[in-house]
């Protein structure tokens, strides 16, 4: 265990700046994090780089703009072979022979050989997010009225490089014994997701005669996501063994090369509404309704209607309970509705 594992070190650093005046505000930050596992003999950890910018601007008395963007890079490296080996099958012999080669005459059991020479899996994530919101305060024309629009964009790219290398073991006299994973292979995967979300909403909220409060919202949201995958591999070992060059072009080409791909896309559209009524902060009524359409469903079943109706009674605001010191808040609520989901359904 002392050969394989030690202390795990992690570090995280963030620098941020922010400011604001009567109309404009901003916040920007940069970050770095490095997290390593307890494995000592091979690289096993993650490095993460982040950047973020948020802004808001009161353009006019009516219009306020809000926006933000962020960018994140994650680089994850882990051994390809024998992760966790040696725990249930402890190694009681020298790891290396006198010439510095992996010692094993017991049938591919030396755990350090696989971790060090078995190859690596390198996974890279890059994620970009941006969002924007425009809010129109129309209360000067009709008290409590506002209109807003939202938009968001997200792109995620994932790149996976899987290197499988030959592991050669030797006896104490430095004679080769057994080997694994010969001749080796390299697989490269590139995956990308892009999504766009848009929304538009009309909101109204007002109080009448002190006792009656109403609020209403009507809006529309839409979301679309596209996915693409490309995979290539060569499986007959490296052209220049021992050179540490890692690329498909420096791997031996043959009849067993791999090439795959795939793509999908889906979209979702919703019309939504919400109505609320509050009388003396005691009696509450709410109605929610939406009509959803999903490209994941067959055209005849694509559109569905959902709703929810609820009523509430805040008993703690009634006169006969107000003087109870042991009771601060008590509400009775009943809700009935219908909902659904398309999660887990394939893309079209």
- Give the span between the Cα atoms of 342 and 311, in whole angstroms: 28
Tell me how far apart the alpha carbons of residues 166 and 63 are, in angstroms, rounded to a whole number. 64
Q: How many CB atoms lie within 10 A of CB 133?
A: 16
CA–CA separation, 114 and 42 (whole Å): 10
- Find, among 313, 311, 316, the residue nearest to 330 by Cα: 316
Strand 145-164 to strand 120-137: parallel, antiparallel, or no bridges (unpaired)? antiparallel
Tens digits of residue pLDDT in 183-206: 999 999 999 999 999 999 999 999
pLDDT tens-place string over residues 162-185:
999 999 999 999 999 999 999 999
Determine if residue 93 is left, alpha or beta; phi over 0 gives left, psi from -120 to 50 gives alpha, anything else beta: beta
Determine how many CB atoms are found less than 10 A away from the CB of residue 91: 19
Least Cα distance to 224 among 273, 296, 291 occurs for 296
Q: Which residue from 126, 155, 161, 158 is spatially nearest to 48, judged by alpha carbons?
A: 126
Q: DSSP letters of 149-188?
A: EEEEEEEEEEEEEEEE--EEEE-TTS-EEEEES-S-EEEE
Determine the pLDDT at residue 337: 94
And the tokens for 144?
């409590």
- Written as six digits, the tokens of 226 are 């596209």
Q: What is the DSSP letter of 6?
A: -
Q: Each residue of 333-345: b (16+ CB within 10 Å) or e?
A: eeeeeeeeeeeee
Q: What per-residue confidence (pLDDT) applies to 204?
A: 96
Looking at residue 348, its pLDDT comes to 44
User: How far is CA 152 from its chain centroid?
Assistant: 15
* Collapsed DSSP state (helix, strand, coil) of residue 221: strand
- Successive 10-residue mean pLDDT values, the chain, 348 residues: 89 97 96 95 95 96 96 97 85 93 92 94 98 95 95 98 96 95 96 97 92 95 97 94 90 93 95 95 95 92 94 88 81 92 68
Cis? peptide before 183, omega within 30° of 0: yes
Q: Judge whether 290 and 296 are in contact, CB under 8 Å.
A: no
């Amino acid at each position: 265990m002392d050969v394989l594992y030690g202390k795990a070190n992690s570090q995280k650093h963030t620098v941020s700046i922010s400011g604001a005046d009567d109309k404009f505000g901003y916040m920007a930050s940069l970050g770095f994090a490095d997290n390593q596992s307890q494995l000592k003999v091979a690289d096993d950890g993650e490095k993460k780089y982040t950047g973020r910018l948020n802004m808001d601007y009161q353009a006019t008395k009516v219009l306020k703009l809000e926006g933000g963007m962020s960018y994140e890079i994650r680089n994850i490296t882990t051994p390809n072979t024998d992760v966790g080996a040696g725990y249930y099958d402890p190694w009681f012999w020298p790891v290396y022979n006198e010439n510095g080669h992996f010692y094993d005459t017991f049938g591919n059991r030396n755990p350090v050989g696989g971790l060090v020479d078995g190859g690596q899996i390198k996974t890279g994530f890059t994620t970009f997010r941006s969002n924007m919101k425009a809010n129109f305060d129309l209360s000067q024309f009709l008290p409590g009225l506002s209109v807003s629009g939202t938009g968001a964009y997200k792109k995620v790219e994932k790149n996976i490089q899987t290197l499988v290398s030959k592991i050669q073991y030797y006896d104490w006299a430095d004679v080769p014994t057994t080997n694994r994973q010969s001749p080796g292979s390299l697989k490269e995967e590139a995956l990308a997701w892009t999504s766009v979300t848009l929304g538009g909403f009309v909101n109204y909220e007002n109080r009448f005669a002190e006792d009656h409060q109403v609020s209403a919202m009507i809006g529309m949201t839409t979301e679309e996501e596209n996915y693409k995958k490309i995979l290539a591999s060569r499986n007959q070992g490296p052209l220049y063994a021992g050179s540490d060059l890692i690329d498909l072009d420096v791997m031996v080409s043959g009849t067993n090369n791999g090439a795959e791909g795939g793509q999908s896309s889906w979209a979702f559209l919703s019309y939504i509404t919400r109505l609320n009524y509050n009388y003396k902060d005691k009696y509450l009524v709410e109605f929610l309704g939406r009509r959803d359409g999903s490209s994941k469903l067959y055209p005849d079943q694509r559109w569905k209607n959902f709703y929810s109706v609820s009523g509430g009674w805040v008993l703690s605001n009634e006169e006969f309970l107000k003087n109870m010191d042991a009771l601060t808040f008590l509400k009775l609520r009943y809700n009935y509705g219908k909902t659904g989901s398309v999660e887990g359904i394939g893309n079209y």
